[in-house]
Structure formats: structure tokens, C-alpha cells
Amino acid sequence: SMLPVLTYAQKDTHNDESKVPNISLPDLFVNSKGQEINTIQEWEYKRRPEIVNLFENNVYGTMPKAIDALNFTIVNEDKMAMNGMATLKEIDIEVIYRTQSATMRLILFIPNERDEAAPVFLLINHRDPENIDPTRTIKMGFWPAEEIVRRGYAAATFHVKDVADDDKVTFTDDILSKLYPEELEKENGMRGLGAWAWGAMRAMDYFETCQDIDAKKAAVIGHSRGGKASLWTGASDPRWAITISNESGAGGAAISRRKFGETVQRINTVFPYWFTDNFNKYNNNEALLPIDQHMLIAAMAPRAVYVASASEDLWADPKGEYMSLQLGTRVHREIYKMKGDFPKAINSPGNPVHLPYAGHHIREGKHNLTPYDWNLFMDFADNYFRFNNE
């Protein structure tokens, strides 16, 4: 068969479509008081905030907003980066809260050739820092910065380690213990993924002050665990015009109730520091969840959302990711009356679906973020920004 063999550690899970249980999902259009949601007003003032709140309390943890001061220090600037094609800025973003301070590094390449402030893609990088080498001695397809700049976008990124190390012991060392230690005491407090989303928001804080960047045309993107954080960023911070999930899978775009590939129980066991403690209540008990991940997609509405999968990445449940996108974007269609819809069956590799408000593709191959994916994200953004010009 074409299914990859599950490793020993994965054997408590399955990737067999015939084992997917019959599921019924929470209704997007009925709020907790039983009221029907029909209008933009009701969506924006009642249902959307309630959904974000449910994700905070049950999945990603609360998002602390308190900051006393933000300092942006350009620690390196090169106006002739990439052979003169871009200006490189390395910015230390220092966040001060109460008596404490924490600093993260933002890497930013801004195209030199342009008439206006540049639209921007921010990558949440969880992989080896060589993937985001600011010197460009090492160039990885995971972050094809030259290609991004060539297409007229600023290429921005930071490493998650600056805000919360991707490690079950040391994840608290940065912003959690320094700025927001009370989060660690709460069952619905912020954990690793929430901290990474917080980091993305601080990058946005910088974009809003930077004349060379058009902060209204910003896309946030992450791969896998970074994609889970990216979705949470876009859902909880409406400043992002486009939110992109690349193969985010469980706790990202995939529907939890399908229990296909990685499950809630498995992710909470292997990565206990990613989600809030409350998420454990749903281990092998997905039916109790007051949300499912299609509602995270919905939380972007009316802003754009893009979900990408890979054909061999069954661990991330491509079908469940697509289902979330189809269902979550009902808000775009039914509340905001946006045109176009996704085909019922998942499209095949090589046939991306780009609607005015949402996009999807499935790439041939394995779990990864590649230039092929990036080019499709930029194709989508080209269109989106062309038609949504303020």
C-alpha cells in the first residue's frame, strides 16, 4: 500500500480512513447561549470572540497583552544585502513588563526596488537557525528569502527559541518565567505555542512602526508546529491579513475528532509544553471539546487563510486539514457573502485551489516547507493584495 508504515512510537494511532469515527462537530453558527449567528455584527461581536476565548481556555492558553515598553534596536543593517536587492535589518525587540525584560531577534529583508511600503511574510521558525541565516551563506528552501524578495515581499522571521525554547523543560526560560510567570500557574495559561504566537505579534508591533513595511499587508506563516502557532497568531490577532498553515496537523488545521494520524492524546503526551493543561482533558475524549479546529480557521474570517498539506504527510491528516478549511470558511461565504467555494473532494497535487479569501494545495511528497509551497503562498497573496487594496 502507499501508506507509510507507522513507527513504533506512533503505533497507538492510525492512518486508516476506515477507522475514522462518525463525528459531529460543534456548530459554528450557534453560540453558547443557543443563539443563531447570521450577521456580520453577530459574528464579530458575539461568536468570533467567544470562539477565540474557547481556544484560549481549552487549547492554546490565554494570551497576555500587558507590556510596559517595547524597544526596537537595529543591531545590524545592510542596505546592499542579497547583492543589492534588499536591505537587511536585524532588530532586537525588547519587551519590558513590570521590572523584567525579554528580547527577541527579528530578521528582515526589505526589497530595495519598490514604489511603496512592502507587503511582508513573517515565518515562525522552529527549525535549526541555519534555515534563517541572515548572512545568506546558507540558503535553505525552508525560507527562500531571495525568492520572497524577488517577488516584491519583505521576508521576515524569528526563531521560537527567543520566546520559548522548543523543549519541555526549558520552554519557560524566556518570556514565560521572565514576563508572565503567573501563566505557568494557570490551567488555562500560556505555554509554548502561545508564546510563539506572542512572538509573532511582537514582530507585527515592529512592522507597524516601520515605514518600509505595509503592516496592513502582512502574512504569518509556519510549518508544522510553527503552523499551529501561525494559526493561533492569526486567530487571536486580527492585524494579520493572511494566515498560512503549512502541514500543521494535530492542534493546527486538522480536525481533532477524526483521530487520524497524530491524536490529541499523543500530542499532549509527547509535547506536554505546547498546549495549555486543560487540553489534556480531551485526551481520547475529543467529543467533549467545545470547539474543533475548523473553528480556528473560522476565527480568521473575514481575513484570508491558507492551508497546505503534503501527500505523504499522513501524520498531519491532509484530509482533516482540508475539512477544517472547507468548514471554517463557511463564515467567509455565508456571513460575508464572499464568492467561490472549495471543491467537495480534496484536490490532487499540482492543482491548488486559490479562492479570493482562502487557499489550499497539497504538495507531492513528505512533511516539509519548500519553495514550491512558498511560491503558491505568494501567488495567493499577489491576488489577495491586488483585490483588497485599501
Q: Which residues bind ligand GTR (CB under 6 A)?
A: 224-225, 249-250, 262, 267
Backbone angles phi, psi at 26, to 5 degrees: -60, 145
- The three cell numbers of residue 1 are 500500500
Active site residue 309: no
Nearer to ligand GTR, 225 or 294 (CB): 225
Give CA–CA dist 120/324, Å, rounded: 26
Taking the complex as a whole, how short is the minimal distance between the CB of residue 36 and ligand GTR, in angstroms? 35
Among 126, 159, 224, 256, the one annotated catalytic: 224
| Furthest CA-CA distance within the chain | 59
- Work out how close the CB of 50 gets to ligand GTR at its nearest, in angstroms, rounded to a whole number: 27
The rounded distance, in Å, linking the Cα atoms of 233 and 226 is 10
Q: In angstroms, rounded to a whole number, what is the distance separating the alpha carbons of residues 29 and 159?
A: 37
Q: Is 240 left (phi over 0), alpha (psi -120 to 50) or beta?
A: beta
Shortest spacing between CB 3 and ligand GTR, in angstroms: 17
* Between 7 and 18, CB nearer to ligand GTR: 7
Catalytic annotation present for 367: yes
Annotate 239-260 with b (16+ C-beta within 10 A) or e (fewer): bbbbbbbbbbbbbbbbbbbbbb
Taking the complex as a whole, the smallest distance from the CB of residue 190 to ligand GTR amounts, in Å, to: 18
In the bound state with ligand GTR, the residue whose beta carbon lies nearer, of 234 and 249, is 249
Between residues 224 and 326, which has the closer beta carbon with respect to ligand GTR? 224
Nearest distance from residue 91's CB to ligand GTR, in Å? 26
Q: Which is nearer to ligand GTR, 142 or 153 (CB)?
A: 142
Distances (CA, A) of 53 to 32, 235, 321, 363: 12, 10, 22, 33
Closest-CB residue for ligand GTR? 224
Q: Which one of 14, 177, 311, 367 is the catalytic residue?
A: 367
Decide if 211 contacts 244 (C-beta within 8 A).
Answer: no
| Helix, coil or strand: residue 140 | coil
Point out the residues that are catalytic: 224, 367
